[in-house]
Amino acid sequence: IQNVVYTAVSVCCWAGAAVHQAHARVTLQRSTHLNMELRALLQQYFCDQASIDTMLTDMLAIIKSFIGTLRSSFFIIDRDNMDEQLIADMWDDGWATEKSTLPRKKTKVNLSLEQTPAGLVARTGMTLNLQDVYRDPRFTKEVDPTTGMVVRSSLTSPIVDKNGVIGVVQLVNKTTGRSFDTDDEAIFEVFVNYCSLIVHFYHMQQKKLYHENLNKVYSELMGLHLKPCQHDLDELEASWPAAAPANFRTFEWQPGPRAELAPLTCLMLWETFAASRGLSRPRLAEFVLAALRCYRPNAYHNARHAFCFTHTMYVILAANKERFGFVETTALMLAGLCHDLDHPGFNNNFLKLCKHPLAQMYKTSQLENYHYFLAAKMIEEQQLLSRLAPAERAQVVREVRFAILSTDLAAYFCTRARLAPLVAERAFRWPDPAHRRLLKGILMTTCDLSGCCKPFGVAKEITESIYAEFYEQGDRERALGYTPLSMMDRRRSANQPAEQIQFLSVVVLPCLMLLTSILPNTSPLLDNCRQTQEGWHEEIEMRGMKLWRQEESVTATSRSRVLLKSKSEEIS
């Protein structure tokens, strides 16, 4: 008999272990299945293919099906406006006996005052598994007026992050009439973990929506302040020149007072591309006035510089009409006018040093990307190209982007390295889009540096304005604890002539030689630049100075690296 009892007990123990194992396996399978279902929903949600309402409807339906409940609720707490109250958005799918399957979202629920399991969980951060909520004196006796059903069993869990409770999920009344057991709690815990991702993503969406709308408000405000007054438009229309001034189509021509910048800019844009497509003169005038007003009163990067850039481009394109199509001409002229919009007077390197927002927005070419953003926005809002076909208009904007980004000297050195072998081997081909792209990059750099290609007196005056900006930046760098480069250091202003000779030799002259090899009628730019270089040599002789070279101030191992890097950063 003893052996029989021992055998029976052993069998029972093994049977119990087997039952427990089978039960655990079933729970694990259910958890795995729930994981797969929720992952599929999250993937759809995070790809912006479903709204928060749709997502919560599906998720609550899944958990109700897995655990078998009659009702579920989802609360997202507004942590930005908590103060002393726990205000939450609530999604409630109603009782399972109701016909509607859509969640009913209340505008706001005050969980600090709610005498419900969800309110208690939100305040304490503890999970509650209650067998009979209706008889619990801590809670309000809830009776649904439509169905007459009451809340009996309830399983409620907080959704938490490192800062506390961010939401609550509640399941009510199992379909079997029983209470929630430990297996239900294990399944529910998996569900709650996914809910935390939903809540975080919901908050990110809300912030994104807020900032998008805030940007729209700022954009409207910017447009309001940039819109020229009717008086300025009437004055511009009255002063619109019927013909270009004498010698206007030469590289040596220089603008006079600021008052003539807008009329002459309109003339250049009208002659190069606007007239051929019948673009609106009033819109062109409004665009030009708005663009010029977008330039700050910097010593160098101002509206006058934008005009001079555009004028050089105008002269080159006028002499080579047969080489460039309408889209290219339009993009190059618009890029010339807009290439330095709202320039702060500091270079990209300084923006990174002081952690400027633009340095956080763009990984490279921070200023150039910003200038393009403003240019594209103004072209769109002013409807400058509204008479073009959408595809052609989009192509112009893409060309404008490439052209403006090409004004970064870091991009110039890459372009020059690719174009130089083509020119040396006489392999440049006009029909090749890649070759044309390289040429347009060189064109943008040439126009940007065209101040060096004026008569020496004018070039020297422009250089002084450049140094005024450089020294302002150098002063700020020194105040931040950095040692400015020589071109930025007003204490080394005596080096200006030698620095200019070196800059012309390393940056400007190679650029002009490439351009004249492809477009020989641009040779006056090269000749003027060489005369400017001679002028700086004479300046050194007049001062009785030794020709200073920057590479002599650094170690031999870092000469070439510092030379190229400093030139790229100082002018971008």
Scored b (16 or more CB within 10 A) or e, 469-481 reads: bbbbbbebbeeee
The pTM of this model reads 0.77
Using the predicted structure, report yes or no on whether residue 285 has a pLDDT greater than 60. Answer: yes
Residue recorded with tokens 């790809």: 47
Q: SS in 3 state form for 249-306? A: CCCCCCCCCHHHHHHHHHHHHHHHHHHHHCCCHHHHHHHHHHHHHCCCCCCCCCHHHH
Using the predicted structure, report yes or no on whether residue 102 has a pLDDT greater than 60. Answer: no
Over the stretch 39-81, which tens digit does the pLDDT of each residue have?
777 676 666 666 777 778 888 888 888 888 888 889 998 877 6
Summary mean pLDDT of the chain = 86
As a whole number of angstroms, the distance between CA 214 and CA 553 comes to 50
Phi, psi angle pair for 132, to nearest 5°: -145, 90
**Mean pLDDT: which of 50-54, 124-128, 409-413 is highest?**
409-413
Task: List residues bridging with 161 in a β-sheet.
Answer: 164
pLDDT band at 82 (very low <50, low <70, confident <90, very high): low
As a whole number of angstroms, the distance between CA 257 and CA 42 comes to 62
The three-class DSSP label of residue 60 is: helix
The tokens of 331 are what? Answer: 């993009």
* Among the listed residues 496, 492, 442, the one whose alpha carbon sits nearest the alpha carbon of residue 465: 496
Mean pLDDT of 334-355: 96
Mean pLDDT of 426-445: 97
Phi, psi angle pair for 162, to nearest 5°: -70, -15
Helix (H) or strand (E) holding 165: strand 164-174
DSSP 156: E
As a whole number of angstroms, the distance between CA 501 and CA 19 comes to 90
Predicted local confidence at residue 295, as pLDDT:
96
Predicted local confidence at residue 141, as pLDDT:
72
DSSP 151: -
Using the predicted structure, report yes or no on whether residue 479 has a pLDDT greater than 70. Answer: yes
As a whole number of angstroms, the distance between CA 540 and CA 500 comes to 11
Using the predicted structure, report yes or no on whether residue 552 has a pLDDT greater than 50. Answer: no
Over the stretch 309-324, which tens digit does the pLDDT of each residue have?
999 999 999 999 999 9
In this prediction, what percent of the chain has a pLDDT beyond 90? 55
Predicted local confidence at residue 401, as pLDDT:
97
Amino acid symbol at 237: E
* Among the listed residues 409, 335, 411, the one whose alpha carbon sits nearest the alpha carbon of residue 378: 335
Burial label, 524 (beta-carbon count in 10 A; 0-12, 13-18, 19+): middle
As a whole number of angstroms, the distance between CA 263 and CA 237 comes to 8
- 565/273: higher pLDDT: 273
As a whole number of angstroms, the distance between CA 351 and CA 357 comes to 8
As a whole number of angstroms, the distance between CA 270 and CA 263 comes to 10
* Percentages of the chain per state (helix, strand, coil), in multiples of 5: 65, 10, 25
Is the Cβ–Cβ distance between 240 and 250 less than 8 Å? Answer: no
Q: Are β-strands 87-92 and 154-161 bridged in parallel, bridged antiparallel, or unpaired?
A: unpaired
Over the stretch 322-339, which tens digit does the pLDDT of each residue have?
999 999 999 999 999 999
Using the predicted structure, report yes or no on whether residue 262 has a pLDDT greater than 60. Answer: yes
**Lowest-confidence range among 174-178, 404-408, 431-435?**
174-178
pLDDT band at 93 (very low <50, low <70, confident <90, very high): confident
What are the strands of the beta sheet with 104-110, ordered from one edge? 104-110, 87-92, 69-77, 164-174, 154-161, 128-130
**Lowest-confidence range among 96-110, 183-197, 420-434, 529-543?**
96-110
Amino acid symbol at 246: A
Using the predicted structure, report yes or no on whether residue 234 has a pLDDT greater than 70. Answer: yes
Mean pLDDT of 374-399: 95
**Lowest-confidence range among 15-29, 51-65, 436-450?**
15-29
Predicted local confidence at residue 101, as pLDDT:
53
